[in-house]
């Protein structure tokens, strides 16, 4: 039935053992996903964020699943399923509380005491009636400094009920928490909505950064985002930076911070570099 619908309806599909095998594999994957949360198979990895002076200023928390305690499963394989079956809600709260606990632990380490922690929030998670309380509970339970927590929202979350979104963001901001708009430029939010949001940061999507040195359109978009953000008194971070040349171009157009494989892959907390040993970037080249 599902195969027929996917083909455009008004058609037929016959039973195929291969389809049954796919269905069985999906059911097993979903079952293991639920068991994984019960068995504490999920873990957070962290990717460093660097300012325009080359200093490590914080990290983004990224969810990873070690299925059955073995090999890591890429998020692209399990996040959509977790969103479809509602498991993203307990998973999202676990991420938030674990990230806040890590923030508190770093507050006792002089080299990391001022690091910020960016945490992605799913649309379903943000839409919870008690999401404001969920954030407050995570902060209270961990004792983390709310000023160092940064919640990342996506543009797609702003399409419906903008009044409710703004009210919820303001309530969370009252705790001292900051907001960053992720994947900026890839969604559908209007400038009239953007100016109403209590944001502190825009994030340039990796799709613009990837070809920024060879595609004039990407370069123009990046420039426009930086100019728009600064005129709105917002900071800008670019994700997906993979080379010194990309970093230098972005620095040259005024980008405030960077994230990507050039600075470090996502790693566990124990594998993160010593902030005092972070190398400053080479002098930027003039943007083209």
pLDDT in tens, 229-279: 999 999 999 999 999 999 999 999 999 999 999 999 999 999 998 775 554
Q: What is the pLDDT of residue 160?
A: 75
Alpha helices in the chain, H assignment, sequence order: 2-6, 17-38, 75-85, 88-106, 123-127, 131-142, 162-173, 191-194, 206-209, 216-231, 244-252
Residue 100: partners with Cβ closer than 8 Å, 6 or more residues away = 117, 138, 139, 141, 142, 144, 149
What rounded mean pLDDT belongs to the chain? 88
Which pTM was predicted? Answer: 0.86
The answer as to CATH 3.20.20.450 being correct for domain 42-277 is: yes
- Give residue-wise pLDDT tens across range 134-148: 999 999 999 999 999
Among 1-15, 158-172, 192-206, 260-274, the least confident range:
1-15
Domain boundaries, the chain: 1-39, 42-277
Q: Which residues pair with 179 in a beta bridge?
A: 151
Q: What is the pLDDT of residue 232?
A: 93
Q: What is the pLDDT of residue 265?
A: 96
Please determine, for residue 287, whether its predicted confidence score (pLDDT) is greater than 70.
no
């Amino acid at each position: 039935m599902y195969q027929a619908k996917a083909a455009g309806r008004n058609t037929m599909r016959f039973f195929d053992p291969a389809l049954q095998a796919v269905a069985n594999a999906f059911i097993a994957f979903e079952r293991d996903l639920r068991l994984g949360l019960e068995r504490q198979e999920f873990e957070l990895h962290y990717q460093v964020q660097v300012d325009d002076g080359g200093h490590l200023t914080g990290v983004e928390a990224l969810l990873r699943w070690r299925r059955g305690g073995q090999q890591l499963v890429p998020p692209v394989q399990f996040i959509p399923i977790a969103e479809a079956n509602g498991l993203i809600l307990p998973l999202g709260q676990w991420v938030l509380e674990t990230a806040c606990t890590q923030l508190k632990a770093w507050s006792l380490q002089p080299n990391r005491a001022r690091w910020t922690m960016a945490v992605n929030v799913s649309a379903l998670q943000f839409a919870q009636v008690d999401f404001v309380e969920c954030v407050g509970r995570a902060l209270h339970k961990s004792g983390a400094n709310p000023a160092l927590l940064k919640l990342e929202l996506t543009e797609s979350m702003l399409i419906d009920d903008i009044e409710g979104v703004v009210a919820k963001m303001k309530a969370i901001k009252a705790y001292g928490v900051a907001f960053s708009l992720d994947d900026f430029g890839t969604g559908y939010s209007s400038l009239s909505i953007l100016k109403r949001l209590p944001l502190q940061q825009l994030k340039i999507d990796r799709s613009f950064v990837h070809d920024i040195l060879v595609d004039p359109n990407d370069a123009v978009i990046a420039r426009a985002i930086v100019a728009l953000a600064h005129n709105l008194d917002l900071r800008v971070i670019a994700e997906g930076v993979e080379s010194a040349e990309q970093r230098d171009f972005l620095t040259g157009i005024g980008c405030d911070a960077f994230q990507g494989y050039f600075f470090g892959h996502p790693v566990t907390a124990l594998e993160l570099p010593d902030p005092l040993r972070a190398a400053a970037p080479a002098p930027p080249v003039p943007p083209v």
